[in-house]
Structure 1
Amino acid sequence: MPHAHSQTENEIDRYVREVQRSHKIPGLALAIVRDGKLIHRGNYGWANLEFSVPVTDDTVFPLFSSTKIFSALAVHQLIEQGKLSLDSKLVDFLTDLPEAWREVTIAHLLSHSSGLPDIVTYENLPEAEAQQAVYAKAILFKPGARFDYNQTNYWLLNRIFQKILGLSLSAYILETQFARTQFPVFFEGNHLAVMQNFSSGYNNTSDKLTKRNWHFPHYNYGAAGLNLSMNAFLEWNQKLDAGNLLSTASLLRLRQPFIYAQARNFTHGWDLIELNGIATYGFTGGMATAYRQVPQKKMTLILLANAMFIPNMQRPGLDAVVNQLLTLAEKLP
């Protein structure tokens, strides 16, 4: 017998379609989990608009910077294993760093407070050339002083994983967080790559939709480049909730706010956003994907889209959309 949508479920669907229309987003997938149970799931619109391919449970979306959810968790797995600590300095593992980088710690990388120049400027260069270019730049501020979103942090974490384990950060994520999954999960940073069930990306910044271009170099796959379906994401979230990926103590350490000299809400790896006075944790990527936990409500939301939630006076940005969906979801039985 088909499941009858409650009034609140219909309200969520209406809201999703409203923001989908206002942002001109061809397709998206939404899932909301509470107390380990899936209380709302929906697929909306088109994975590929040109050929009228609908979004399904198996549609694979690029996560963009939401990849950092899994990368930060991987770092805390190594901390749990005693292979490094939040206070470990980069020079404990990497001996070729500029002198000015020697006081940077793992905590500074996870909290985006390293003050390092951003390697994203050189992402079209081979790694050796990008490294040379970023090493030549001056450090921006004393580590820990303030939040400055920075892809160099995850490039360095990737190098540290290679040093400690002989594995890239991306390989470690696949090996430890997605072992034996039956769903497609892979790293690929080229939007032109042909992959089964892959959703096309769209640029919705003008009146006319165009294809969205992106390139993430393999040496910085810890910062972006993970692709998966909602099925795979939900399976991963179930393992996280069950304590199969990280202990309760380690997850609390990940969520612990980092104390900046210039105040900012962020943890040791994930964003910290207060919603109606309640702490929520997660990350967004490419203005198109979002993961958000609300531990006090035992609730998690996952949103995957193939175009951007760009805020203006008439429409909300991605964080505001997630906040509204979580507020609506509280009414679900």
Structure 2
Amino acid sequence: MIRAETLVRQGEDFIVDDATETRYQLASVSKQFTAAAALLLVEDGTLVLDDPVRRWIDDCPRKWRDVTLHHLLTHTSGLGHWDDYPMIDLALRVEPSELLRTFDSVPLLYPPGEGWSYSSPAYVLLAHVVERAADTPYRVFMADRIFDHLGLTDTFAGAPGARPNLAVGHDGEGRPLPTWDLDVVCMGAGDVWSTARDVLAWLDALQSGHLLSEPYRTLMLTERTRTGKGPDESGYGYGVFVGELNGRRWWHHSGDNAGFKAFAGNIPELGRRIVVLSNTEATEASALEPLLA
């Protein structure tokens, strides 16, 4: 079934409530969860934001020697996005070591810290760091420290196996699409499945500090680097775009996996949050922007 679910909430009141128990791929909205996982380990004292990735990745390529966790979190590492790695089939699982070698085969776009370019591979590396530092499989860490802790009972990371209530992705013409690999290739970058209500609870947990204590909550949700884009997306925190919408501060992220689109945003001053999850590439989340005004 093709459908798009929208959940908008202001305070305790729902403006639009079209949520079901269906679980969708969150695509790049997943990066919020990855960033939070890394910050939990920083809070624990296991990681440091200025840690070089070579500390946590075996046989780290020489060109990455100056890349830090902060660079990965803010898309300032110099690593490219998927279009820069045309040799990668996003639907085909490979061994993690092979994937990292493929990332290494493409030169950095610029020296670490000297530019900004959105990069899903950077978040894949970040997930590897979380897994290594926690000495726990990434999806297990996510379940133990985030999903279960926050009561997000319909949320999980990675391939779904036999789990129920899963949406099937479709292209813009309504044809089913094969899913991307979520256990290796998109781990940390677009691997989370969830429902609209769980994502709303996630937004509230981030904003309230229920998951991350200070200063880590503020570090995540405020600008850490400029993106060079317009005022609505003037900066990037850790796992979220930050900026202003109609003169009010907001943080948000969109997502686009094969057959799925997602959007999650929060305007703290209004107490307004919006979640859009869809299993068709025909969905345009931007059409719902008036609800955020």
TM-score range, shorter chain: 0.7 to 0.9
Structure 2 CA distance for partners of 1:294 and 1:42, relative to 1, 3 Å = same
Select the residue among 267, 273, 291 that pairs with 1:294. 267
Q: Which residue of 1 aligns with 2:169?
A: 201
Q: Report 1:1-333 matches (<5 A).
A: 26-35=2-11, 37-43=12-18, 57-118=20-81, 121=86, 122=88, 123=90, 124=92, 125-179=94-148, 181=151, 183-189=153-159, 195-204=163-172, 208-219=173-184, 220-260=186-226, 265-286=235-256, 288-308=261-281, 317-318=284-285, 320-327=286-293
Residues matched between the structures, number:
278
CA deviation string 1:77-103 (max 9, x = no partner): 222222223222212323421212111
Structure 2 CA distance for partners of 1:30 and 1:117, relative to 1, 3 Å = closer
1:30 and 1:261 mapped to 2: Cα distance?
28
Q: Percent identity?
A: 21
2:288 and 2:70 mapped to 1: Cα distance?
27
What residue ranges of structure 1 are gaps of 5+ in the alignment? 1-24, 44-55, 311-316, 328-333
Moved over 6 A (4+): none
Shift of 1:145: 2.4
1:107 and 1:269 mapped to 2: Cα distance?
11
Structure 2 CA distance for partners of 1:240 and 1:60, relative to 1, 3 Å = same
CA contact (8 A) 1:144 1:260 kept: no
When structure 1 is superposed on structure 2, of 165-174 and 289-298 the one drifting more is 165-174
3-state SS of paired residue (2:129): helix
CA contact (8 A) 1:272 1:281 kept: yes
CA contact (8 A) 2:33 2:239 kept: no
3-state SS of paired residue (1:216): coil
3-state SS of paired residue (2:253): strand
TM-score (norm 2): 0.84
Shift of 1:153: 1.0
Shift of 1:182: 7.0
CA contact (8 A) 2:6 2:277 kept: yes
What residue ranges of structure 2 are gaps of 5+ in the alignment? none
CA contact (8 A) 1:189 1:214 kept: no
1:260 and 1:141 mapped to 2: Cα distance?
16
Shift of 1:134: 2.1
3-state SS of paired residue (1:211): coil
CA contact (8 A) 1:87 1:106 kept: yes
TM-score (norm 1): 0.74
2:157 and 2:236 mapped to 1: Cα distance?
26
3-state SS of paired residue (2:42): helix
Larger Rg: 1
CA deviation string 1:271-307 (max 9, x = no partner): 1242112221121111711110112222221111111
1:174 and 1:87 mapped to 2: Cα distance?
26
Shift of 1:117: 4.3
3-state SS of paired residue (1:210): coil
Structure 2 CA distance for partners of 1:177 and 1:217, relative to 1, 3 Å = closer
Shift of 1:232: 2.4
What is the CA RMSD across the aligned residues, in angstroms? 2.6
Shift of 1:230: 2.2
Q: Which residue of 2 aligns with 1:331?
A: none
